[in-house]
Structure 1
């Protein structure tokens, strides 16, 4: 057995901090106006009221991820988009009504998938424990279990979220991170949710799985703003890679053509995404923007030179923090019977 290679001191410190924060769970996350509500989330919230809940969710998700691995990035992205608008309250799952368009019909959400799967899981949980487990908790658990099912990290998901009753398209357009955002814009948006720069860096690592459509990064293929001028612009997409995309995938498939975010391993949770960022092959401006900040670039360089477990640990820490953003607990919101509609 080969001797263990000692990690550099900065990486060792990063791992130590990640382990402590993951172990502490979401209760310590400082999201806006939400400390008291986060403390009401707890591990095993349903142990007495619905002891089979987490097993039901996990078994169903693992079964379907084994059959269709692309379910994993779909569920992770849906959870992410849910938490950024009105907090992690399942509002992304609501259908539009005659009163107005819902979040899921906002342009950034039109490519989301997994709604039917969440509805089926919720139905199974309802059969076991009617009116007990929220759609928001089902989605948070399903995202975690889906990532773990493809060999990615797992993380603590304290439960007790309540479901929101409001979902508007306009809020989704305004609140969701955009693929064209600069680093300062991303930092400000994340800070508004109680998430820091390292959360931005590690949560961006979710792009190691999944695909993007050519229409979402067309600006990277056909215009190259100057880099390094202090205005928040980003380095251009690697010229050879951009030419290949223009001449092949995006030309043949059009604006709706799908391109792997992490070419060659888009269904493997690994460090490939960060390597593409450092090589200037990130598809989105928001991903390329990570290297315009010295501290963010140093964190990325540190994690790519470390064992994959380091990335798993820091990603898990940031997912636990994301899952506690502006949650509704106690008497807030409701426990929806059907995830797509509010109770009546």
Structure 2
């Protein structure tokens, strides 16, 4: 018993737990005692010149199937993505037991007055009695079936998130796209601490201050847009690009791809990246990053790419009182160009 206690304490101190779900990623211990895989699959298709991309039949179901077969055990979605039904189909068809799959979904910004019913709607689409993690997608709210702002205190929304956890509809609850002052206010007025904060993190946008704050408060950080400007065709975002000499030298040294180097860098920072792809070979490679380790000097070199450059910057919402990001003097009409 004493030996087991020492091992368990070691896992808690290191913030990681042994993998017992059949996947490739180790699990990280959350502040509520649950565990989360150290990498996941993002499923948002992004935007094009017409707005949010439409999800075609099986367009997400097939990649999720590939991901589960490749050893992913975390699947990230949201009601607004319009793909929860396809994810539910992929999970039902999978040979992976439901209890081994960590499903993340997010509260729609139009439903912050109806948290429990909104979550039940997502559960119906996913065909599961619970999700492993339920996030407030943004502190910003809109009126139902409208693009008109609704001013709802996120503290009130959080009370209903806590109720969702109490009812067992969500094993863990958390937040997405909140800033430090908003999280401080939430921590001061909540019964249940957020287990996870999901924000943009990549080589261009290291989020050093926010990640340190989250770590100091026992909150695990998930990283969307983990590749940053790696594959950008625009000259506007700062480097690196996929052909960067340093990244390629590291890829050659470890016999990995440049995206694998970037993902390994993030996981070694203690961040849970959720790279998105609909290509089988990329999905399989992205999760294959736990058989090597970057040195401290290499981590420092990669950290020098940081320019605090935010790719996902919805500045046309900046007049909302709970807008979480820096304001622009001239709001961008299409802030999701790089996501």
* TM-score, length basis structure 1: 0.28
In terms of fraction of residues, the more strand-rich structure is: 2
In terms of fraction of residues, the more helix-rich structure is: 1
Higher relative contact order (CA 8 A, sep 6+): 1
